[in-house]
Amino acid sequence: MTRTWQISTATDAARVRIATARTAAAYGVPPLERTRLATALGTQLRHCLTKGGTWTVTVRLPGPDTGGDADAGPLHITVAPAHDPQGGGEPAWRMSVLCPRDSVSPEPEPEPEPEPEVGGDAAALAEALLGADDDTAAVLERLAEQEELVAFHREELHQTNQGVLALHADLDAAWRAQREAFAAERAARTEAEEARRRLRFLADASALLTTSLNHEEILRRLPGLLVPRYADRVDVWLFDHEGDRHRPTPHPAAAVLAARTGRPQYAADHPGDLPGVDDQPPSALNPGRPLLCVPLLARRTPLGVLTLTPPGPRWDPDDAVMLIELARRASVALDNARRFEHNRDIAETLQRALLTDLPTTPGLRLAARYLPATHGLNIGGDWYDAFRQPDGSLITVIGDVTGHGLHAAVMMSQLRTALRAYAVDGGSPGRLLTRLHVFLHHLQPDLFATAVIARFSPDDPTVTWAAAGHPPPVLRLPDGRVHVLDAKPGAMLGIPLRQEIEDHTMRLSPGATLALYTDGLVERRALGIDPGIDRLATALGAFDPAELDADLDGSADRLLGPLLSDSERDDDVCLLLCHIDSAAGGEPDRIPAGVDHLR
């Protein structure tokens, strides 16, 4: 079904608008959609009146001919010029409104009669306008509801946004706190690692410095420890260093001040800010480089000053504290080394003072060597001696007191003096050793000794020897054969045992050589003593007889060479060679029973 109106005046437009709104209401169009339809149609009708002329408004009602069923379908409105209803010249305006399915179609109305003038039908127009206000009121009420809903959702959104912002702020604060915690943890870990590195360096450096008792070696090790990581240059000024006595060296003013005050000094053109260190102006000797001058103090006695230049622009305060501590430990190591060297020199002087100048005997040559141990005070209980008895016999002795150090050296001196005293009364080597055994047992019950005594008779090519717990003498015959004289030795001197030590006698022919020695020459911890005695016998047998006749002292040195190839010795070494000149007459050697012939 279709309804058509012709409009050319405002009154026509108002009637069409009212009729269209009533039709939409009759077909159940909701107020909101109906208001939209009326507003859009009114706007288009005003547009048409502005252009002028006559316009046709067509309303096609829902029904089978509109493509829907009888109860529902779209409501089509078309506005076009009256002379061009198809819109060929002026485009037609169209609008469709969907009617609900449950709306009721009104009864067909009769053909409209000519509309009366506005003035003649004012009540109808007013009623129609008031009806339109009802739709507007409904729309406004719905709009108010929507505004309230929008305000509610806006407030809800605002609260949500505030919560989100607060959450973001909390998360940001938590992230910052976590980042600060991580940074603090990294800083603490780095600081701990640096502290551990410094402590490890101090421990390693202390171990390296204290393993040497040579102050020159300690001074050589210091630059290797500090350069290039902690210092660019290292100078050590020792107050009584021998090198400074002959070539005076200028020292920085800060080093002199450190020596006088006993406090570390920092000389630079900027403050050092180092804990426990006094700041001083830059050094005139090296104004372009900072200097850290640390006094070397030991037992409150100044030893010298350690002067350092930094590896970079300046030192880290913690590194400076570590360097000061290292200087203190180096001071202790230097003081220990110098005290040890002083005591060692005294001990060595005492030791050599106790060694005898060998007497000269026609037809018999003597050569002796004493080498102190490379560890300790270089003083021990090894000794050798050679002296004459009243009857003209020559006593040669070599011995070893157990232990090492000053106590052993004093006991060795007492045994040496006692032996010379006993020898004045005469007596064979065995008798002399027996008396020494009793003397040592009563004098020092907890101290023991070993010894070998060989007596050469005047004008008689014989030798009498006796041994007490000592490595046996080694005899080289003129033909190069070597024998170990180990027949029936006595026990160690001083042990709680009554003993009578036996003598052994044999004739020596010209060119024979008797070697007396201490265990330091032949004994090695890993091998024992027998392999060392074999090496001594082999080395002694390799000499030429003429070599022994011509240079017995040189032969002694050459004999020690292969036997002491290792540079480190834990014990003292004594060697006494007794050589019968080849020019002297005599009978061939006769080896007594019990003497080892296998070497």
In this structure, the answer to whether residues 339 and 434 fall within a common structural domain is no
- Bridge-partner residues for 302, per DSSP? 297
DSSP string of 25-53, one letter each residue: HHTT--HHHHHHHHHHHHHHHHHHHHH-S
Which distant-in-sequence residues (6+ apart) come within 8 Å of 189 by Cβ? Answer: none
Provide the pLDDT for residue 175.
92
Residue 524 has pLDDT above 90, yes or no: no
In this structure, the answer to whether residues 368 and 321 fall within a common structural domain is no
342 or 65, which is more confident? 342
Q: What is the mean pLDDT of residues 378-399?
A: 88
In this structure, the answer to whether residues 386 and 507 fall within a common structural domain is yes
In this structure, the answer to whether residues 411 and 550 fall within a common structural domain is yes
Lookup: tokens for 185: 């943890």
Specify if 165 maps to a domain: no
Burial class (CB in 10 A: 0-12, 13-18, 19+), 173: exposed
Torsion (CA) 520, 521, 522, 523 in degrees, nearest 10: 20
Provide the pLDDT for residue 308.
93
Q: Choose the weakest-confidence range: 89-103, 265-279, 382-396, 523-537.
A: 89-103
- Of the pLDDT bands very low, low, confident and very high (cuts 50, 70, 90), residue 72 is low
Q: Which of 364, 339, 368, 341 is nearest to 354 (CA)?
A: 368
Q: What is the mean pLDDT of residues 531-558?
A: 91
Calpha distance 267→271 (Å, rounded): 9
pLDDT digits (tens, 9 = 90+) for 200-223: 999 999 999 888 888 889 999 999
Provide the pLDDT for residue 121.
61
- The upper half-sphere exposure of residue 128, i.e. CA atoms within 13 Å in the direction of its Cβ, equals 18
Specify if 519 maps to a domain: yes
Residue 347 has pLDDT above 90, yes or no: no
Domain with residue 38: its CATH number is: 3.30.565
Residue 75 has pLDDT above 70, yes or no: yes
- Beta strand 301-309 with 513-517 is unpaired
Provide the pLDDT for residue 584.
59
- Of the pLDDT bands very low, low, confident and very high (cuts 50, 70, 90), residue 114 is very low
* Final residue in a domain of this structure, among 61, 81, 115: 115
Q: Which of 452, 520, 523, 443 is nearest to 492 (CA)?
A: 452
Q: Own/partner pairs for 360-365, CB < 8 Å, 24+ apart? A: 361/394, 361/456, 363/580, 363/581, 363/583, 363/584, 364/394, 364/456, 364/578, 364/579, 364/580, 364/581, 365/549, 365/552, 365/577, 365/578, 365/579, 365/581
Domain with residue 498: its CATH number is: 3.60.40.10
In this structure, the answer to whether residues 241 and 304 fall within a common structural domain is yes
In this structure, the answer to whether residues 52 and 80 fall within a common structural domain is yes
Q: What is the mean pLDDT of residues 390-409?
A: 86
Provide the pLDDT for residue 119.
43
Residue 245 has pLDDT above 50, yes or no: no
Residue 599 has pLDDT above 60, yes or no: no
Lookup: tokens for 424: 């004045």
pLDDT digits (tens, 9 = 90+) for 421-463: 999 988 899 999 999 999 999 888 888 999 999 999 887 889 9
Calpha distance 594→486 (Å, rounded): 7
Q: Is the dihedral of CA 380, 381, 387, 390 positive or negative?
A: positive
Specify if 562 maps to a domain: yes
Q: Residue with structure tokens 């902690």?
A: 230
pLDDT digits (tens, 9 = 90+) for 257-313: 999 999 999 999 888 889 999 999 998 888 888 999 999 998 778 899 999 999 988
Lookup: tokens for 518: 């201490």
Specify if 134 maps to a domain: no
Which distant-in-sequence residues (6+ apart) come within 8 Å of 568 by Cβ? Answer: 374, 375
The separation between CA 329 and the C-alpha centre of its own chain, rounded to angstroms, equals 20
Residue 476 has pLDDT above 90, yes or no: yes
Specify if 129 maps to a domain: no
Q: What is the mean pLDDT of residues 306-332?
A: 91
Residue 89 has pLDDT above 70, yes or no: no
- Bridge-partner residues for 399, per DSSP? 383, 451
Q: Going along 139-277, which residue ranges are E strands?
A: 233-238, 265-267
Q: Residue with structure tokens 């990294």?
A: 186
Provide the pLDDT for residue 109.
45
Q: Choose the weakest-confidence range: 45-49, 160-164, 404-408, 548-552.
A: 404-408
* Final residue in a domain of this structure, among 59, 87, 115: 115
Q: Please state the φ and ψ torsions of residue 264, each to the nearest 5 degrees.
A: -65, 145
- Of the pLDDT bands very low, low, confident and very high (cuts 50, 70, 90), residue 15 is confident
3-state secondary structure 456-506: ECCCCCEEEEEEECCCCCEEECCCCCEEECCCCCECCECCCCCCCCCCEEE
Q: Which of 428, 351, 440, 353 is nearest to 397 (CA)?
A: 428
Residue 239 has pLDDT above 70, yes or no: yes
Calpha distance 26→24 (Å, rounded): 5
Calpha distance 439→402 (Å, rounded): 16
Specify if 152 maps to a domain: no
Q: Residue with structure tokens 């040579």?
A: 214
Q: Between 31-51 and 122-210, two packed helices, what is the crossing angle to 10 degrees?
A: 110
In this structure, the answer to whether residues 375 and 252 fall within a common structural domain is no
In this structure, the answer to whether residues 379 and 340 fall within a common structural domain is no
Domain with residue 229: its CATH number is: 3.30.450.40
Q: What is the mean pLDDT of residues 65-69?
A: 52
Residue 16 has pLDDT above 80, yes or no: yes
Provide the pLDDT for residue 120.
43
Specify if 150 maps to a domain: no
Q: Say what percent of the chain tops pLDDT 70.
A: 84
* Final residue in a domain of this structure, among 115, 150, 172: 115
Q: Choose the weakest-confidence range: 88-92, 174-178, 512-516.
A: 88-92
Q: What is the mean pLDDT of residues 236-251?
A: 67
Provide the pLDDT for residue 556.
93
Provide the pLDDT for residue 200.
93
Which residue range is the domain that position 490 belongs to?
356-580
Mean pLDDT of the chain: 84
Provide the pLDDT for residue 116.
39
Lookup: tokens for 474: 């080694």
Q: Are 341 and 400 in contact (CB under 8 A)?
A: no
Q: Choose the weakest-confidence range: 33-42, 375-384, 521-530.
A: 375-384
Region of 333 on the Ramachandran plot (φ > 0 left; ψ -120 to 50 alpha; else beta): alpha
Specify if 456 maps to a domain: yes
Provide the pLDDT for residue 323.
92
Calpha distance 385→429 (Å, rounded): 13
In this structure, the answer to whether residues 285 and 432 fall within a common structural domain is no
Q: What is the mean pLDDT of residues 142-146?
A: 83
Provide the pLDDT for residue 372.
78
Burial class (CB in 10 A: 0-12, 13-18, 19+), 454: buried
In this structure, the answer to whether residues 424 and 468 fall within a common structural domain is yes
In this structure, the answer to whether residues 457 and 540 fall within a common structural domain is yes
Q: What single-letter amino acid sits at 93?
A: W
Provide the pLDDT for residue 83.
76
- Of the pLDDT bands very low, low, confident and very high (cuts 50, 70, 90), residue 71 is low
Q: Residues 40, 42, 44, CA angle at the centre, nearest 5°?
A: 70
In this structure, the answer to whether residues 342 and 391 fall within a common structural domain is no
Lookup: tokens for 490: 């006595």
DSSP string of 352-398, one letter each residue: HHHSPPPPPBTTEEEEEEEE--SSTTS-EEEEEEEEE-TTSPEEEEE
Number of domains in the chain: 3
